[in-house]
Amino acid sequence: MAGIYKSPNVKVDYFGRKISTSMNIEDFEYLINLNVNSIVLFDNSTDDMRDAGEVILPRHYTIFVGTKDGEVLYKPYEFNQYRIVVTTYKDIIMSIDSIG
């Protein structure tokens, strides 16, 4: 339903700075069991892709693979509220680890 207000989640990082995000992990559960390579970024999408039913991320959001096939990969330390950190196995998303 459009127009429903979701209050942002406010967290405090290691340095005491407040970080607010408007999305949480439950908002991206539809990505589980999808191939990472088949998900389209908003900037790369077209109306034809949307009409075809392809999975398009919301604006500014990107997917970052934090664990691939059981091997932990490098994760940047800086906070990015639009980064979706996922765990994959053979390029299939198994879980959403965090947002940011």
pLDDT tens-digit profile, the chain (100 residues): 455 656 666 777 777 777 766 677 888 899 999 999 999 998 888 889 888 888 888 888 899 998 899 888 877 777 788 899 999 999 999 999 888 7
| Res 13: pLDDT | 72
Contact between 35 and 91 (Cβ < 8 Å): yes
For 17-61, give the DSSP string: -EEEES--GGGGGGGTTSBGGGPBPGGG--HHHHHHT--BPPTT-
- Interstrand relation of 62-68 and 18-21 (parallel, antiparallel or unpaired): unpaired
| Res 88: pLDDT | 93
Give the global pTM: 0.74
Contact between 59 and 89 (Cβ < 8 Å): no
H or E element that contains 89: strand 83-89
